[in-house]
A and B are shown apart, each in its own frame.
Chain A
Amino acid sequence: MTTMTQNQTMRDNSWLLTELPESVIEHDAARMPKWLADIRRSAFRQFTADGLPSAKQEKWRQINLRPIRETAFGLPADGATDVSEAEVVGHSLPFVDAVRLVFVNGRYAAELSDARAMPSGVTVQTIREALKSESTILETHLTKYVNADDDPFVSLNTALLDDGVVVHIEKNITCDTPIYLLCITTAADGPIITHPRNLIIAEDGAQATIVEDYVGTDGEVYLTNAVTELVVGEDAHLHHYLLERESDAAFNVSTLTAYHKTSSTLSSHTVLLGGALVRNNVNPIIDGEHCHSLLNGLYIGRGKQHIDNLMRVEHRKPNCESRQFYKGILTDESRGVFAGRIIVSRDAQKIDAVQSNQSLLLSEAARANSMPQLEIYADDVKCTHGATIGELDEEALFYLESRGLAEPQAKAMLVHAFAGESLERMNLPVVQEALLQMLTQRLPFTSAANV
């Protein structure tokens, strides 16, 4: 394949990921600084050496990547998008005060964004903007935290990284305005691959809330392969939300890596609703004492969806707490997978780690896998994990029905209560309310009752 030119249509330049040509990354290299072009090249080499993961690899055992392997993807074309303001509003969560950055097919759409003035001490830029500025933040931090071992999708993201968001919150600044990234993918011309890359740095004592929201139009086939790196400084507190509402035919692979410094707090909330094949990687690296890391997740599968969660909580320093609460609701022929691992290093004493995965199976053909794992090398730790899988509690149903609720209403109430626990851990009412509405649309039985 020869060098791609802007005039060629996307369909002429699609390839299987197993045959990704080097020209794809060289095409953009010209407008990038050398350090970044080098990083991309090295990641490309890594990706071509590793290839797409096979089911023989432990971390990929439960997911069948064949649909991704057999789809020929193209890069999104540069230039104007066909997404209207009205569509953006339709997709957007109803924030009143958020900074909204809209990406269409992985490219920043300034005309659709609402980048109001940020409080001083907060910088929100796209990667392309940041590369043009004097800022050295990207060069200092990009790719320094995320672990590409065993995960070719991370290498692939780095190899193709082109745009995304860089957020910098200066020391002791509290940013009350949520930073909302809305990523819309339209793939009307055929399958495309986007590779959003976000870098969020909260300096010591800083606080901020980031919401990543991935949406698409049902029926369209594309792959979103997103990577976000968070750095949570000393005493800093980051709230991170990931909402995955992709097209029902799309693939989404998201990787979140959070690097904790001393006394820092991360609250990560993940809600996975859309996509045919979804993989969600969350990896807090707790490299300071007295940290708190919360991983709160909710996934709802219907149709033939496959939703696969891989948590890896690394406790490297003593006296920290981590909490994983992942809940799955699976209907139709969907399948939900949770693999969580808590790793406590040799000298990380006095760790208090909890890992819980609960799955609700609501149909005969739904399937749930749970692998809550512990890898412990320190003796003075309190690590517990638990998993439950089953249908709705018959006694609870009976109780509600005995109080006069019809069966569908009673079931709806129980399913909502199950999901509600995840929503309650969030701190943004706008997100909570929007999610509640989405759940009402998606969950079974709920047409019968407005709970």
Chain B
Amino acid sequence: MTLTTTAVLVPLLPFLGAVAGLLLGRRMPGFVRPLAVLPTLAAAALTVTVAVGQGGGPATDVATRLTPTGSIPIDLALHIDGFAALIAVLVGVVASCVQIYSTGYLRDDPRYPSYAALVSLFTAAMLLVVYTGDLMVLLVGWEVMGICSYFLVGHYWETETARAASLKAFLVTKLGDVPFLFGIFALAADTGTFRITGILGSVANGGLDHPTLIALLLLAGVAGKSAQFPLHTWLPDAMAGPTPVSALIHAATMVAAGIYVVARLLPVFAASAAALIVMAVMAAITMVGSGLAALAQDDIKRVLAYSTVGQLGYMLGALAVGDRGAAVFHLISHGAFKALLFLGAGVIIHAAGTNSLAAMSRMSGLARRIPDAYWTVTVALLALAAIPPFAGFFSKEAVLGAAEHAAGGAAHGIPGAAGWTVLISGLLTALLTAAYAARLWLLAFKGKGIEAPDLPQALNSVRAGETPIPQPVVMNAVLWVLFLPTVALGLAAPLLPGWFDGRSLAPTLTTSVLGTGIALVGGLVTYATWRHTTALAARTPIGAVVVDPDASPAVAEETAMATHAPVYGDVAGAADPADPGRLLLGPLHRHAAVGFHVDAVYSALFVRPVRAAATLVRFLDREVVDTYVRGAGAAPRWLGAAVRRAQTGNVQTYLGALLAGSLVLAIAAVLVATGTGA
């Protein structure tokens, strides 16, 4: 098989798997699991083949004209370079892991066939986005991912949270997609082609007519998809979906699509200094804000979601300083360790029977019960906090190094202000990242105090000392698969520049020392605070609903989500005085727990005016328009009622009336005929 054939098969296989899964799902349940797992696994193997075949060589470009449109043609084009090949490998591997994990996680779910098919469809769309060389085709994959995300977030549609979250995710990302579409059109109008190679060629030769406008329009779409401020609000709520979905879509791949598009079109953005500054500021606000918010969340998955938002901010920051190699490196390593964190969180939620960190911090022995998740998640959290030997350290240092490079004015065409913004916010975020990673680890695994059975409101308690909860083997096996890149991806740092733009990704001394030092400070401060507050935890029992350990993982998660708000009064936070995040953030905690009121602002700015307008329209429709309609019906009815009174049933009356009428007509006719009446 040639490289092209292999690359075409990569998105095609999961797509066919999805179609077959949807068609056969109900009739042949035995085929559902193979149909979900095997095409994805095959696609993952093929992405590796493509990556090996492509190597760091010049980009492979193949195209066939899809349709002549009359003006700018649309091509089915493949554009495979080092970036595309490596990201495709990430997508393939994570998607395979998630499909395998899901067979255990959703083992009793009646909607598993459609779920698996949608995950396959999503994988196909993401691989299409990665491999395509035509912006229109990319947009198709982009939107298919959006709709898959909508369906998968709403998988537990029996719960109110999931329904609301899926709608919110769809609407907010669409809010970004509309400017994105306009941006693509404007870009094509300026350059005369939808092909990425053609666009980059004309940017390099003659430049664009409206670089800032195009870059900002595209950036809106990227902000929506990659959950950057101000369109980030959908991602924490999207955690209402099943955990494997969060791992695949809302951590490793789909949210990375926005970053990937910017990386692909970086020269377009670099043509406008204003766009780079906007990108840098956006990334800075996102990073710091999400770091603070993550420190105040109680739901373990929401902590990870805000963490994802922040790490995507790092990637966007790297792009804002013009280093797409660093951005994609961080994308890949983040994809690996964040997928691991989410899948591990799924195991933790199942074992603990709750998704609340406050409740977990009052359970002892959780780490003993799930040793696989304990070790892998610990390492993944170290990678997230950028502690040296692990993958996250190398990729984050590459980002910070690029920012420092730009801040020093050494980067050509990049404003120094962007470099400084990214560097300072990046260092600040490193501190926050280490703090919330430490908090998550301490609360989840180092819980002390009252044993689980003594929880005041426990429905079905986890009894300590019993035989360990049987976790599905596949769930733990997958964790170890993702553990490998989390640990070892840093070794690839010297090799990657050959695949990317050739710029070195090795950590520089200044940023390494600074970044690691700051991360250690963050972790240690959190630890000290936790030591201080943990004494409080013993004194303040907190209510929790704990799900029966025999329940399937998905049921445990769904119940945990549905009961969080009733028990703690809020989806995001918990009134736990023993939380170290509360002490660290001080008065900020209240605001950080609700994501700095961004949702409230949107509600006041958009939701309420729209509702008021809807009420007005309803009034106009019901009271004004309908009045005419009702009048048109009522008038003939009244007329009919009046005429009906003449229908007495007495034939002689009819005849009398007939005679009188005939007489009147005859007289009138005579008068008209003789001309006297007119």
A binds B: no
